[in-house]
Amino acid sequence: MPVPIRVPASVLPPAFAASVAEVVGATHVLTDPAVVAGQEVDWTGRFRGQTPAVVRPGSVEEVAAVVAAARSAGVALVPQGGNTGLVGGGIPGDGEVVLDLRRLRDVTDADPGSGQLTAGAGATVARVQAAAIDLGWAYGVDWSARDTATIGGSVATDAGGLRFVRNGGTRRQLLGVEAVLGTGAVVRHLPAVEKDNTGFDLAALLCGSEGTLGVITAVRLRLVAPSPPLATALVAFSSVASAVAAASALRRQLPGLEAVELMVADGLDLVCRSGALPAPFAPTPPAALLVEASDARDPAGSLGDAVGGLDGVVDAAVALDGPRRRELWRYREDHTDAIGRLGAPHKLDVTLPAGSLADFVEDAPRLVAAVAPDARTWCFGHAADGNVHVNVTGVAPGDERVDEAVLVRVAALGGSISAEHGIGRAKRRWLHLARSDAEITAMRSIKSALDPDGICNPNVLLP
């Protein structure tokens, strides 16, 4: 595959600059370093880059024209939405031009009969959720960056989130896409029907491709039935092992299970200190689960009964009303912010087989300490999916020894090195732990076919 021509950050080829300004309008080509600075660094502060320009197209036609201009000028592009990614996948780390898709934010063709809608790539996840509710349905994927994260980025990374146990990840919600491939071709398949097996599923291919094959401009989404009334419980456990075993038991026992989130003592204490929240339990238990479940008749009763039957429970709080449920959720959702305040963390977003999860979580601090004795390790995550977020603070952004130690261990245990955040820049060195040579070669062949000049996010995902 051709190596993309890397344009030094200070230089925008004049012909490219002129044609792009003509396409999107000069006001939508940002070159002032002070204006683009926020789009050169990721949310965590770990991944920084430099860009000669941020280009903000307003239609799929404009995206296609920008891609065509980039092809002829040999300019590499990094698509960006809300810039909430956690693996550096939307950052111009090698002087790429940033393609900001947030002007493509319309929600259209909503169909209450079939429970479907089309969303522009730049619509926030919260906007899609609200549109789904207006239609009498719900959008099945949710996570705490909902107000900023865009649907295009969530499809490009196949985001998972807090409701995976009920609805699966983003790929499962996806019926079709509109995208501009690296060839400049516009592929548009936004079907009004769900049952459709006409050949290759390009939407599924683009989902999780992290912008390496083209630029997603719109998506057709399948909605889910709104949940019956919900109850939320924060449950304290005597050990991580009992919390993990409880997550599995709850999956079997509660048909209306919506979320099972794991926290451990250090993280709970940190969140309370950092957000001035009252301690939920005294003393802080070794582990806790945030459990949410629906039940049409008696959500608090059925959740309380299920929690009462679990082994290792030392205390629990159950909430039914919205404000109290949101208070309980804060103990889980505030982890990312609280850890981020300690400095740029290394984030390792991994899945373990159910039988290895508890031991892995208990051992993670020792595993990290062996290579970074001064680091702190924070584990939390989506217990029902086996997905734990290992965050490590106190390590220099470029020191990858902890990443290596954690990812090698996860692979040895038969887990996934990328559960829901993507590979990005952060983990591409380790793709071989998860994918065979033959698979990586096949991925490269697909990239060569759809992005022959290597201009589409060339520095992420593939090693």
Nearer to ligand 2HG, 156 or 456 (CB): 156
Closest contact distance (angstroms) between CB of 330 and ligand 2HG is 12
Q: Which tokens go with 413?
A: 């245990």
Closest contact distance (angstroms) between CB of 347 and ligand 2HG is 4
Closest contact distance (angstroms) between CB of 230 and ligand 2HG is 19
Nearer to ligand 2HG, 71 or 347 (CB): 347
Nearer to ligand 2HG, 143 or 237 (CB): 143
What letter represents residue 273's amino acid? R
Closest contact distance (angstroms) between CB of 355 and ligand 2HG is 22
Residues from 77 through 106 that contact ligand 2HG (CB under 6 A):
none
Nearer to ligand 2HG, 77 or 259 (CB): 259
SS3 (DSSP) at 48: strand
Going by the DSSP 8-state scheme, the letter that residue 321 receives in this structure is: S
SS3 (DSSP) at 241: helix
Going by the DSSP 8-state scheme, the letter that residue 53 receives in this structure is: -
Q: What are the backbone dihedrals phi and psi of residue 297, each rounded to the nearest 5 degrees, phi first? A: -95, -50
Alpha-carbon distances of 30 from 14, 35, 51, 66, rounded to whole Å: 14, 7, 10, 14
First-to-last CA distance in the chain?
A: 13
Bridge partner list, 260: 291
Closest contact distance (angstroms) between CB of 8 and ligand 2HG is 33
Nearer to ligand 2HG, 152 or 182 (CB): 152
Nearer to ligand 2HG, 332 or 447 (CB): 332
Q: Residue 120's closest CA among 150, 147, 160, 78?
A: 150
Closest contact distance (angstroms) between CB of 64 and ligand 2HG is 32
Nearer to ligand 2HG, 427 or 447 (CB): 427
| Contact string (CB under 6 A) for ligand 2HG, positions 46-75, x = contact | ------------------------------
Q: Write down the residue that tokens 């505030």 correspond to.
A: 334
Alpha-carbon distances of 381 from 58, 119, 222, 235, rounded to whole Å: 36, 28, 26, 15
| Residues 52 and 9: beta-carbon distance below 8 Å | yes
Sign of CA dihedral 168, 172, 174, 175: negative
Cβ neighbours for 215, distance < 8 A, ≥ 6 positions apart: 63, 67, 77, 79, 99, 101, 121, 179, 180, 456
Q: How far apart are CA 384 and CA 400, in angstroms?
A: 28
Nearer to ligand 2HG, 120 or 267 (CB): 267
Q: How many residues bind ligand 2HG (CB under 6 A)?
A: 6
Q: How far apart are CA 384 and CA 391, in angstroms?
A: 19
Closest contact distance (angstroms) between CB of 144 and ligand 2HG is 5
Alpha-carbon distances of 214 from 1, 243, 454, rounded to whole Å: 16, 42, 10
Nearer to ligand 2HG, 127 or 335 (CB): 335
Q: How far apart are CA 90 and CA 85, in angstroms?
A: 7
| Contact string (CB under 6 A) for ligand 2HG, positions 289-328, x = contact | ----------------------------------------
Q: How far apart are CA 398 and CA 310, in angstroms?
A: 43
| Contact string (CB under 6 A) for ligand 2HG, positions 328-347, x = contact | --------x----------x
Nearer to ligand 2HG, 347 or 447 (CB): 347
Residues from 351 through 370 that contact ligand 2HG (CB under 6 A):
none
Closest contact distance (angstroms) between CB of 387 and ligand 2HG is 8
Residues from 367 through 406 that contact ligand 2HG (CB under 6 A):
389, 391
Residues from 139 through 198 that contact ligand 2HG (CB under 6 A):
143-144
Q: Residue 211's closest CA among 433, 425, 439?
A: 425
Nearer to ligand 2HG, 56 or 347 (CB): 347
Q: How far apart are CA 285 and CA 269, in angstroms?
A: 10
Q: How far apart are CA 324 and CA 329, in angstroms?
A: 9
Closest contact distance (angstroms) between CB of 344 and ligand 2HG is 12
Nearer to ligand 2HG, 137 or 164 (CB): 164
Sign of CA dihedral 156, 160, 166, 168: positive
Closest contact distance (angstroms) between CB of 172 and ligand 2HG is 17
Q: Pairing state of beta strands 97-100 and 54-55?
A: parallel
Closest contact distance (angstroms) between CB of 348 and ligand 2HG is 8
Closest contact distance (angstroms) between CB of 388 and ligand 2HG is 9
Q: How far apart are CA 224 and CA 202, in angstroms?
A: 22
Residues from 130 through 149 that contact ligand 2HG (CB under 6 A):
143-144
Residues in contact with ligand 2HG by the rule CB under 6 A: 143-144, 336, 347, 389, 391
